[in-house]
Amino acid sequence: MATAIGVVGSVLTIFSFVTDLFPDRDTSSAKYRFKIGNDGAQPPGGGGGLSNAGGSKPDVRAWDETIEFLGIEVNDGNKCGEGDTVCDTSLQTREQPTYTLFTANDDAICISVVQTTFPSNEKYARALQIEFPRNWLTLDLTLHRYATVLGNWAYYCAEYYGISQATWYWSDIYVKREDGGSDENVKCSWLDGNGDQPATGVQIHWPDFDSTNGPTPDSAYYCTNNPVLSWRTDSDPSSVIYYSRKRDIFASDPSLATSPAVRRSADSEIELDGRTAASAPVKRQGSSDQFSNRLVKSKFEEQSASEICNAKSSAGPSFVSYAERAFCYMPTKTQYPFCDDVDSGNCWDDETNKVTTKGTFSADSLGGDDTVPAMNFTSTVVWEDKNVM
């Protein structure tokens, strides 16, 4: 088993992953696996699904612990297959890519879990330990496998630390807990390159998520330290913030620095830029408008319409909770009860998939009701079977 430090609500949790479910290891590439949190569910009767909900594979840039740039994998036009819940990519390198930057392409992708298998290179890893003998960094010389439950971190960092660019949604994915507790339903984190969602990329420092690397930091550590985990808003992010070996007394935070940018030119050639200034952040809020024709219905008890409606950082398709018997219309974050449970007022009709007005006078008889949003869901899925990792 491989373990990963994660969070449930606001409580630090250790998750367990079967090593057979990680990408296979080889000596010449780092491999990455995305567990997609908003695809793969089937509509009533089968077929269809949430078209292209898997989104485009992110581009991958990687650096080692010395901030040597190791390479880039460009995934323009490479989509996660419709209905797929697992999506793989790789990057050619023989070194240990402890810093990874994932950057979004045009179609939004909602990622629950990211796993990586480093190249097999024990000689390099041992040399790295000698060069950087820090008690918080003890590289695993035998497995070189890491994971992070990205969706839960997005929720936690957004709701508790105001990281507004970390937008999230429910998923049908469950992850095992090291303490033997019930499998945990995990959320997913949106990345998008075309402006519909605020996060254009996410940076991860893998060793910080390994529970075997010494004392576990508190949960705040992961949201307030950019080298560890940070959602980016620049246009096509191309550099990482890292722990500097030598302190710069003139820096605002003398233990941190920014790598040279690695940009893509217009013809997709790679340009290693000595400048460290990032593109201006794109100021935008997470929006659910792009999902206005999509509907998710969930039979999972852990998922409530009220929670996703009330969360400032949630985004995604409108949502029905059968456990709560409520519907959240995500474009306006408005919650409605099931019509079977009320005598009058605006309510959710689960047979017609519409909000209607119940009571003495119907909306039709009144010539329409402006408070009832017009909706036309062309893609509807039901989550009822747990997708356990």
pLDDT tens, 274-304?
544 444 444 445 566 777 789 999 999 999 9
What is the mean pLDDT of the segment spanning 34-53? Answer: 54
* Lowest model confidence (mean pLDDT) among 32-41, 83-92, 262-271: 262-271
**Cβ-Cβ contacts under 8 Å for 344 (sequence gap 6 or more):** 358, 359, 360
What is the mean pLDDT of the segment spanning 212-224? Answer: 81
For residues 167 and 17, give the distance between their C-alpha atoms in angstroms, rounded to a whole number: 24
Of the spans 125-129, 130-134, 194-198, 331-335, which averages the highest pLDDT? 331-335
Lookup result for tokens 């997609």: 36
The pLDDT value recorded for residue 388 is 86
Q: What is the largest CA-CA distance in the chain?
A: 78
pTM: 0.84
The pLDDT value recorded for residue 250 is 53
Enumerate the β-bridge partners of residue 23.
Answer: none
Q: How confident is the model at residue 244 (pLDDT cuts 50, 70, 90)?
A: confident
What value does the CA radius of gyration of the chain take, rounded to a whole number of Å?
22
In this structure, what token pair is assigned to residue 315? Answer: 């985004």
- The sheet that has 294-298: what strands, in order across it? 334-337, 326-329, 318-321, 294-298, 379-383
Output helix, strand, coil percentages for the chain, rounded to the nearest 5.
Answer: 10, 35, 55
